[in-house]
Every structure is written in C-alpha cells, then in structure tokens.
Copies of this chain bind each other. A is one copy, B any other.
C-alpha cells in the first residue's frame, strides 16, 4: 500500500496522542487512600488529568500532537503537573502491576457522573476490582492528512470514507497479527505481587497482555475480518448482555473517531488506539522516545505488509502466540512460530524507500538485537530486579527517582525550559486547572488557553485581553507615564524633556540647587545616565547633557529621588506582591573567604544562568572584583560574621541580586497607593516601582512619602514567587482565575 508512494511523500506525517495510567502511592508505599488531588481542578472537564477506574488511579491524557517528540513533551508536562499537584509524600507507581493491594484499597473513582460510577461498579463485579488496578499506556495514532490524501489518490477507492475504513481496518488486523512482537519487546508487567492473581504465573513478560490481563470473557468474539462483521458482532454482544456497553470491548486495538461502532460505516474510522503498552519503569513518562518511534515505524510497516487472508483464524492463532509470549519468562527465547522477519523487512524497506535518516535504522537494529537477546527487552531487564519474588522495592526506588525529578526546579515546567519562567508557570497552572492549552508560538511566549467556548490568549504570562492596547504603550514611554501620573496627582520626579542642548541649558536655573538625574529619554542598559546627588555645577551639567545627547535625540533632566526602591505587582487594582531587590552580596561567617561564600550562595537551586532560574549565579568577574576592592576586600578576604560585602553596585536580579518578598512587611498605605497609580493609569497588570525613603511612615495621596519612578507593563511575575528570602507570592494562578472566573 505504501509502496506506491513517492519517496518524497510525507511518510512520517501523523498525529499522536498518549494516555498513561498510574496509581498514586503513599509514603507507606501502598496505594494512596486520599481523594483525587484538589489542585487538579474538576474531573468533570479536565482535559489532561482524569481518574481511571479507581480514585488513586490517575489517567494522564495528552492533546493531539504532530510528532512523537511533541506528544512526549506534552506527556512530560502533564506528568510534571500531576506529580507536583499530589500530596508531596505521594508518588506515581512506575509499574503496570500494582504493589501489594487488596480489593478494599481500590476505591472507585468519585466521579460526578453517576453513570460512570455505576459502570465501574459493574466492571468490578464482573472482572473483580484487582484487575482494574493494572495500569497501561494507550497510543493513539492517525495518519497525516496529506499522506492519507496521497494514499487515497493512489488507491482504487473512489469513496474517501470507505478508503479510510479499509486503511485502518488493515492496520488493526496486522497490528493484532504482530502484537506479539510488541509484547516481546515492551512487555513490562512481569510480576503479580502476592494476592493479585489466584494462579501462580511467576516472572513473565506481560501479565497485562496475557489472558490474565484485562480481557473480555471467552464467549465474546468480535471479528476484525470486515468492518460490517465487526459492527454486527459488537452490537450483538451488547444486545445479548455479554458486554454492558460497546466500550467494554477490550481489544488491544480500538477503532476511534465515532460514538458507536455503526457510525464508522457512514463516518469512517478517524484513528486507532493501541492499548497494549505496559508502563516502562525506566522512563519517568513510562514510555520512551525510542519506543514511540519504533512503534510508529512498526505501524507504518503494518501498512507496507499485505492484507491478511483468513483473518479470523490468523488472528486467533496470533492471539494464542501473543499469550504464550506474554506468559513466558522474560529471558526465554521466542517460540519458533514467532517470525519477525516480514515486519522487520517491511520496516527496513520503509527506511530505504523514503530515505529516512539513520535514527530509524538504529531503531530497527535495536529491535533486532533484542530479538536475538531477550535480556535486552524491557521485561528482560525488569526480571533482574525481582527480589524475594517481588518488584515492590524496584517500583519504590524508581517511583522515588521520578518523584524527586519532578520536584527539581519546581519553578519550571519539564520540556518547556526554553520558555520564559512566567510562561512556564502559567502553562503549569493552566494544565493543573484543567484549561485547554496550546502554544501558538513558543519563541514568542504566545499561548492560547480555553475552556468550552471561552478562549483567552496570553503572551509573556501577563499580556492578556484584560489590558487595553494603548495603556501598555503608554507605560512603555517614560514621559507619557509621568505625565499621566502627574496629571492624576501622583508623585513623580519633577523634570523636563529636551530635544536640544540650548533649551536644556536654559533649564539649569530651575535645577541649579537640586539633586538631579540626566538621562537619555530611552534609557538602554543605563548608558548615558549622570546622577548628581549634590547640585551640579553648570559645567558638569553641560557635560552630562553632552553624554546623554550622545545616546539619544531626547534627554530628560529629572529630580533625583533618594530612598529604597520597591517593586509592587498590581493586578486588577490590587497589590499582590512587593519585592525588594538587593545587589549581589554575601554575608560573612567569620571563617569563609568571600570566594567561598559566593560558591556557597551559588549552591541555591534557585540560582542558575540566563533567566532560566528565578535567581542568577553570582560571578566573580572584573566588575565584582572592582566592587570588592572599593570596599577594601579581595575574593580571599575572610569576612567577619554578619558583615555584608557587595559584589555589585546595582540591585538587578540578573547580575546576581537577591529578591526579598516584602509583601507582608510593607505598609498597606503604600500598597494602596501603588494600586491606585495602576488604576489611574488604567493598567490591569503592571509593576509599580516606588522609591520610599522611610517605609515606617505611611503614605497618603496628599503626603505620599514616596515617588514613582516607573511603571512596568511586562513585570516578571516569577521574581515574586521564588524569592531569595520571604515566603514568595504566587501570581500566575491569580491571572488565570481572573481570565477564567467560571473555573
């Protein structure tokens, strides 16, 4: 079928969706008895994190992805959110088979829908509740639109729906025929802990994929020989009561895209769901990138192969073979009638025909190696972890590793570390809350979030529909900001703007006896700024003007305001956080050198480089050495206990400064004043920078006791959340709450 395609055809074009189940485990390493984490919003609509059969069994569901990489990245983010939304003592069980478990520990998921609850009660009665505690991965797959179209054009079909049904049915048939290969390679439900099974099966490849797995009773026979027969059989099974509903048919491949089987006849199969994958306990996401891609190539090979003949008998035989392989010890070789040659040949042919790169050749080589040596298979490795007839210890150990991994860099979202921290936080919060999330442009930090029909776009974490366009543009212009605040009666530094030196010189008389700042209108990295804390002479004033005019055509002469600068984060008229930034520094302990103190301080997991962490590494470069020298220190100075040495003159976080959450300490009057400034400006989200000489004296509009030096239309939110000192204030969830008040 694929053979006719041009080598240029987009053979890898496809969409992928992954569902992963996993049990929550408590600190006693037993299945958690706590309710579904309340942080994860409502299961009545959560698109990514649901519960499967039982209350502690999380189901992580990725949206549709355009590549396996993207699917895995999405799964990684959802896993990250799930792991960090549970009680911190709980962790996700990394194995498909549960730890030792009793029926009493399996509480049916407390879903809002009574139908869903009763359905689960019925399943428990028919299959037993224990078997429901196994977890697996479902791999949803749809061929790409262009690829499907090209295949359709090369086919003899004239009806596109009929064509798709033929295509996907062939895929399903061949999948069932070669399913044993996946069981061999990726089977990983090797051991039932004590009390799980009534039969002793020992260490095998995949209990989940064997007759002891989650299978229908023997009398349910659904033929895959034709779609018509399939539909007829399923309807018959439901009618006769063998199945309580169509969805109770547990095949390792499921047709998807319509509500009832009969709909496929008129609407066509949209995609397939492959349900046979066990959790890979060596991967934090329970399925590796290599597996995803090998399976993708395997699926394509199923289309390269011929159509099966004598479908029912062939598949019955294949099912037996699969069961045999699933229930063999992982280190035993494959039985003789398990012939992987046709499928391997097809995989290689595809790589060759479409000129796929080396990576795919290597995937095949790895599969071939595992076929030669069963110890290289997943179950082959897991078998070596069995201790005293149990995998509990192994499961606990791997579970803890993945749990710790999730909690490293808790300010970040796994897989999205290249985005801005505030955007990573918004993404985390949105996934947690159950909002639908799409990254419209990753480089540009542009997100689409939606719930039902309600869509919101967010850029840079705080640029939303809540602000009107012209206000951030006003805040981006210092002169405009000052005029608006001044006209509204708020304290801003006195000053004037000049387009030429003559006018600026004439202004000297107005500031001859004041402390002033002379700066280019568009300040850039502090270039061209002169500060006169004492009144400037006319000559110095003129020199400073020359410097400023060399940087910009417009120059500002402003009153210099002394005091401490605080950043107030204002959201929707309310001050949500106050931050003090302190220049890079260390405090002596009486025995360590400054160099050692810097090293110690840099150990803080919040410190990193290039704005990928909430704080930056303190350097010991030329600027820092000069700064130390000015204080009479060298890096080798042993600093007396309690004595603070500064490594920088500026308080920027980006040069190693400390962020100190002052929200609780700041007088309410200043918070209110800052909020009022934002309101006067018309800003929904903004940072207000106030210089406060003495914060113990409260502010009022008539006697502000402070000066506003800047409004920031794109204030970094993460700075307030993960601080060097102080509790830290969470802001991103508040943004989402205001954008989606219905949640």
Nearest chain B residue, comparing its CB with the CB of A149: B510
Contact status A468-B466, CB under 8 Å: yes
Min C-beta distance of A170 to chain B, whole Å:
22
Query: Is residue A512 within 8 Å, beta carbon to beta carbon, of the partner chain?
Result: yes
Chain B residues positioned under 8 Å from A457 (CB to CB): 470-471, 473-474
Q: Which of A7-15, A105-113, A215-223 contacts B (4 or more CB under 8 A)?
A: A7-15
> Given contacts A440-B483, A441-B480, A444-B477, is CB(A506)–CB(B10) below 8 Å?
yes
Contact status A12-B459, CB under 8 Å: no
Chain B residues positioned under 8 Å from A507 (CB to CB): 10
> Given contacts A10-B507, A467-B468, A512-B6, is CB(A446)–CB(B682) below 8 Å?
no
8 Å CB interface, A1-26 against B: 6-13
Min C-beta distance of A65 to chain B, whole Å:
14
A10 to B507, CA, bound (A): 7
Min C-beta distance of A631 to chain B, whole Å:
38
Against B, the Cβ 8 Å flags (1 = close, 0 = not) of A660-699 are 0000000000000000000000100000000000000000
Query: Is residue A627 within 8 Å, beta carbon to beta carbon, of the partner chain?
Result: no
Chain B residues positioned under 8 Å from A467 (CB to CB): 468-470
Contact status B465-A468, CB under 8 Å: yes
Leading 10 A-B pairs by shortest Cβ distance: A8-B509, A467-B469, A465-B468, A10-B509, A440-B480, A457-B470, A10-B510, A9-B509, A8-B512, A146-B510
Contact status B444-A470, CB under 8 Å: no
A458 to B468, CA, bound (A): 11
Contact status A509-B6, CB under 8 Å: yes
Contact status A8-B538, CB under 8 Å: yes
Chain B residues positioned under 8 Å from A357 (CB to CB): 502
Min C-beta distance of A17 to chain B, whole Å:
18
Query: Is residue A416 within 8 Å, beta carbon to beta carbon, of the partner chain?
Result: no
A444 to B552, CA, bound (A): 14
**23 examples of A-B residue contacts, CB within 8 angstroms:** A6-B509, A8-B509, A10-B507, A10-B509, A10-B510, A440-B479, A440-B480, A440-B484, A441-B477, A443-B553, A446-B474, A446-B477, A448-B484, A458-B470, A459-B470, A459-B474, A463-B473, A464-B468, A464-B469, A465-B469, A467-B470, A468-B469, A469-B469
Query: Is residue A136 within 8 Å, beta carbon to beta carbon, of the partner chain?
Result: no
Query: Is residue A472 within 8 Å, beta carbon to beta carbon, of the partner chain?
Result: yes
Contact status B458-A465, CB under 8 Å: no
Min C-beta distance of A104 to chain B, whole Å:
48
- Contact partner, A510, options B7, B13, B682, Cβ 8 Å: B13
8 Å CB interface, A418-440 against B: 440
Query: Is residue A160 within 8 Å, beta carbon to beta carbon, of the partner chain?
Result: no
Query: Is residue A607 within 8 Å, beta carbon to beta carbon, of the partner chain?
Result: no
Contact status A469-B474, CB under 8 Å: no
Query: Is residue A256 within 8 Å, beta carbon to beta carbon, of the partner chain?
Result: no
Query: Is residue A508 within 8 Å, beta carbon to beta carbon, of the partner chain?
Result: yes
Query: Is residue A43 within 8 Å, beta carbon to beta carbon, of the partner chain?
Result: no
Interface size classification for chain A: 35 or more
8 Å CB interface, A518-558 against B: 538, 553-554
Chain B residues positioned under 8 Å from A459 (CB to CB): 470, 473-474
A443 to B512, CA, bound (A): 28
Nearest chain B residue, comparing its CB with the CB of A9: B509
Contact status A465-B473, CB under 8 Å: no
A230 to B458, CA, bound (A): 65
Min C-beta distance of A461 to chain B, whole Å:
11
Inter-chain pairs besides A10-B509, A440-B477, A464-B470, 17 sampled, C-beta below 8 Å: A6-B512, A8-B508, A8-B512, A8-B538, A10-B506, A146-B510, A440-B480, A440-B484, A441-B477, A444-B477, A448-B483, A463-B473, A464-B468, A464-B469, A465-B682, A467-B470, A468-B469
Min C-beta distance of A498 to chain B, whole Å:
12
Nearest chain B residue, comparing its CB with the CB of A685: B469
Chain B residues positioned under 8 Å from A9 (CB to CB): 509
Min C-beta distance of A453 to chain B, whole Å:
12
Chain B residues positioned under 8 Å from A444 (CB to CB): 477, 480
Against B, the Cβ 8 Å flags (1 = close, 0 = not) of A124-164 are 00000000000000000000001000000000000000000
A25 to B135, CA, bound (A): 92
Min C-beta distance of A505 to chain B, whole Å:
10
Against B, the Cβ 8 Å flags (1 = close, 0 = not) of A76-94 are 0000000000000000000
Interface centre among A13, A483, A510 (most CB of B within 10 A): A510
Against B, the Cβ 8 Å flags (1 = close, 0 = not) of A478-508 are 0110011000000000000000001000111
Min C-beta distance of A725 to chain B, whole Å:
33
Interface centre among A10, A444, A469, A682 (most CB of B within 10 A): A469
Chain B residues positioned under 8 Å from A479 (CB to CB): 440-441
Nearest chain B residue, comparing its CB with the CB of A13: B510
Against B, the Cβ 8 Å flags (1 = close, 0 = not) of A316-338 are 00000000000000000000000
A677 to B11, CA, bound (A): 34
Chain B residues positioned under 8 Å from A463 (CB to CB): 469-470, 473
A476 to B356, CA, bound (A): 36
Min C-beta distance of A470 to chain B, whole Å:
5
Chain B residues positioned under 8 Å from A502 (CB to CB): 357
Interface centre among A6, A8, A466, A554 (most CB of B within 10 A): A8
